[in-house]
Amino acid sequence: MNRIFVFPILLSGGIMLTSCSTKPEPPSLLEGMRVSVSAVENREIAWTDKKSGYFYTRTHQTETGWFSGWNVATHRVFADYSISVDGTVLNRKDAQVTVFPDRMERLFPAAKETFMMFDDQPVLGISLEEVSGKETGLSLTGDLKFISVKNETAVFSTRDPKEGFLAVSFYKEGKLSASDSSGKIWLTGDKSGGGFLIGLDSTEAGAVSLLEKAKTQVQTWTDARRNRMENLLKSNVFKSNDPDLDKAIRWNILSLDALISRQTGYGIYAGLPWFNDYWGRDMFISLPGTALVTGQFDVARKILLSFAEFQNKDENSPYFGRVPNRVRPEDILYNTTDGTPRFILSLMDYIRYSGDTSLVKELYPVIKRSIEGPLKYWVDENGYLTHDDADTWMDAKIDNKIPLSPRGNRANDIQSLWYDQLLAGVRFAHLTGDSVSFEKWQKVADKLKARFLNDFLNPAIPALADRLRKNGVADFTVRPNQLFALDFITSDSLKWVLTRNAWEALVYPWGVASLSQSEPNFYPYHTSWEHYPSNFHKDWAYHNGTVWLWNNGIAMQRMLEGFQYNQAYQLFNSMSHQTLNAPGAVGALSELTDALPPANEKLPRLSGTFSQAWSMAEYLRVWYQGFLGIQPDALNNQVILQPQLPDSIFSLDFQIPLFSGFLKGSFHRTADDLKFTLLPDSLPSDVTLIVKFPGFEPVPVVMYAGEKLLLNVQKKELSVKLYDTLDEIRAESLLFRVKPDEERIELAKRIFKDVQFAKPQVPTDYSRMQQAPIWK
């Protein structure tokens, strides 16, 4: 028989599950995601072709910065473009601009311009409608050499021979002419041409042929791109009492999905505009939120297989077994320690979500090298994974030589990742029948775990060291990396105290600082040159104060583990606000913010890339796994459900992918009643659902098709009632009555009582920031 599994959510009052009532979405989800941008806001925006190209501009000005315009395979083709009507250049400051995930519309007094890209096609589309004039024109800004106009198509050569040839034609048929005006080439013709298509190919003939094809396929390509986006959103439906939350989640899903590319095999761009390449660490921090929680298991599989091809297989290299730190079309670097453990943990996450254990057998040689390499070159007598000073995620150096945030040679997060990698390896060895490696790797893991707290924990404060130096001395610099190592701690009390201490020292309402403001090497601003000396480099501040939004994920996760969902949601909500309303890119999350706001301002400035994969991925991962509380584990044939929605969400309908099917849910709460409904669809029949209300013992629930589950939390008691297909209560279900763990609940309340964000202390004296950081 098919089984159906249902779960509740922790909130005060009673919980009743009835029939699922997920409301239908409007005909076009993309239309409902429109964001209007004013000329004053002048926001950044970027799209990709899902292969190797992206286009970056601003809504109301022509961009000429190095990373602006059309970039393909890390090479810029041109910087931007201008449109004219009857010889008058349209001023973008005069436009009403609306941005969608698939396009941008600029409404000028004289025309409506729509810019778009197409999946897997090196083609740009600039359609022109509602033209008040006879003739339209296009001029490209950038290092291009005009060749000629042939058969109504203009051809340019690009600056770099690797980029090839650029062709321009009308959307529709029409005579195109070229003229030189003040050193700029203008391509003009009758407005009936409908706008312009721009294509890129390695040969001149290929570029012309590409646009001939584009004219016949442009509507098909447009529809295919929109349908792909719509289908992804229809598989991941969220409709709550907060429309901005729903919109922010959708934007993050699609903006993050846009970073999945096939530039050097399948992968995920680290961020736009300048990280349009693959970084191993970034990619595998991002993979769960990018492809697993959203149900894109086939994409995740291809990314894992593709990146595995780049593993260092040279047994004589100290990097033997590592996957790359960075992969670009022209080079590969292996200078990172944490990328490889995160690759293995992403493989484990993929199997937990998909149940596809065949990939373990296919990649087992890669798994084995990833562990045996470190054991040969980097693991010490205590089982710790050693590493160089700048081989963690805090990797900035002066002149690529002197580390600015040294964390060698045993950082706390590296040991946590290495330990989890070993345990994953043990599980994979068991699945493949490799008993020798199973026993060997388990012993190393046990040794590391037995040593960790003795070496890293100061129980008197209490505090967890950020690293052990080469001489074995613990370094208690206050950084967020400790949050990744808290799983070594089994005591709720100690774990929650450390979580609170880290939260109040490092977590501002907008994000997690890379260094506490109490530390002498703290730099509050990433690029505020006016506060620093003439020789200042922004990397001084990069990991020494600057807020990294991807760390918001682990910070919220740890607070949720202590039942602090309202406090965690405040941070989540600030990320939603940035997605929709901040001065940065439309519909995306930045890499960084300054740690502190400028004097006399309330919010810090955004910094780094404007669309960063791991920032958006952690936002989504925590939404699915933390607030919704859906944690699949196909290896153990179960789904753990531990939802913790904040008090501000009192209505939510949703549908999410799970295994080979979906979970559809509906939650509604009033002052006197709370109802939560879940309707699983096409899940495996042997899956066990484990309902885990925070503060209650886990309750395993198994249901058959057509049955109904009623969960009720009332007067400090959880009751579970099962109704059969005739809507009659199963007698055995009346036995499901669970009392809460009062002691654990009170412990969490006591430890987190009046917990607050870190309080920004805007400096008035910048004298200590007049030199590069000095570490003893």
> How do residues 542-576 score in pLDDT, each as one tens digit?
999 999 999 999 999 999 999 999 999 999 999 99
Under 8 Å between Cβ of 385 and 376: no
Spatial separation of the C-alpha atoms in residues 266 and 295, rounded to whole Å: 17
Sign of CA dihedral 251, 658, 306, 441: positive
For the chain, percent of residues with pLDDT exceeding 90: 76
Spatial separation of the C-alpha atoms in residues 367 and 361, rounded to whole Å: 10
For 611-680, the DSSP string reads EEHHHHHHHHHIIIIIIS-EEEEGGGTEEEE-----TT--EEEEEEEETTEEEEEEEEE-SS-EEEEEEE
Q: Residue 209 is inside which H or E element, if any? A: helix 204-235
- Non-local (6+) Cβ contacts of 433 within 8 A are none
Average the pLDDT over each of 35-44, 545-554, 652-661 and give the range with the smallest value. Answer: 652-661
pLDDT tens by residue, 210-257: 999 999 999 999 999 999 999 999 999 999 999 999 999 999 999 999
pLDDT at 548: 98
Sign of CA dihedral 584, 627, 548, 354: negative
Residue 442 to residues 352, 425, 450: CA-CA distances in angstroms? Answer: 21, 9, 12
User: Confidence band (pLDDT; 50, 70, 90) for 1?
Assistant: very low
Is residue 541 exposed (0-12), middle (13-18) or buried (19+ Cβ within 10 Å)? buried
User: Confidence band (pLDDT; 50, 70, 90) for 154?
Assistant: very high
Spatial separation of the C-alpha atoms in residues 110 and 85, rounded to whole Å: 7
Q: Measured in whole angstroms, how far is the alpha carbon of residue 199 from the centre of its chain? A: 30
Average the pLDDT over each of 19-33, 141-155, 166-180, 275-289 and give the range with the smallest value. Answer: 19-33
Q: Which residues pair with 46 in a beta bridge?
A: 56
Quote the pTM value.
0.94
Spatial separation of the C-alpha atoms in residues 664 and 660, rounded to whole Å: 14
The token duo for 406 is 């040294």
- pLDDT of 106 above 80: yes
pLDDT at 674: 64
Query: Per-residue pLDDT averaged across 444-462, rounded?
Result: 97
pLDDT tens by residue, 201-210: 999 999 999 9
Residue with tokens 């209505």: 651
Spatial separation of the C-alpha atoms in residues 98 and 119, rounded to whole Å: 21
The count of residues in the chain is: 776
Q: What is residue 488's three-state secondary structure?
A: helix
Under 8 Å between Cβ of 721 and 531: no
8-state DSSP, 292: I
Q: What is residue 720's three-state secondary structure?
A: strand
Smallest Cα–Cα separation from 414: which of 494, 495, 472, 468?
Answer: 468
Question: ∠ at Cα 278 (273, 284), nearest 5°?
Answer: 115
* Cβ-based neighbour number of residue 742 at 10 Å: 10
Smallest Cα–Cα separation from 9: which of 643, 595, 573, 619?
Answer: 643
Helices then strands, each counted (H, E), the chain: 14, 48
Under 8 Å between Cβ of 713 and 8: yes
Residue 618 to residues 293, 400, 550, 572, 661: CA-CA distances in angstroms? Answer: 11, 29, 6, 10, 23
Q: Measured in whole angstroms, how far is the alpha carbon of residue 677 from the centre of its chain? A: 29
Q: Measured in whole angstroms, how far is the alpha carbon of residue 108 from the centre of its chain? A: 35
- pLDDT of 363 above 90: yes
HSE, CB side, 13 Å, CA atoms: give it for residue 482.
Answer: 33
- Non-local (6+) Cβ contacts of 609 within 8 A are 270, 271, 272, 273, 274, 275, 590, 591
Smallest Cα–Cα separation from 723: which of 736, 714, 739?
Answer: 736
pLDDT at 733: 65
- In the sheet with 708-713, reading across from the earlier edge strand, the strands are 708-713, 718-723, 737-738
Residue 147, by phi and psi: left (phi above 0), alpha (psi -120 to 50) or beta?
alpha
- pLDDT of 17 above 60: no
Tell me the one-letter amino acid at 497.
V
User: Confidence band (pLDDT; 50, 70, 90) for 724?
Assistant: confident
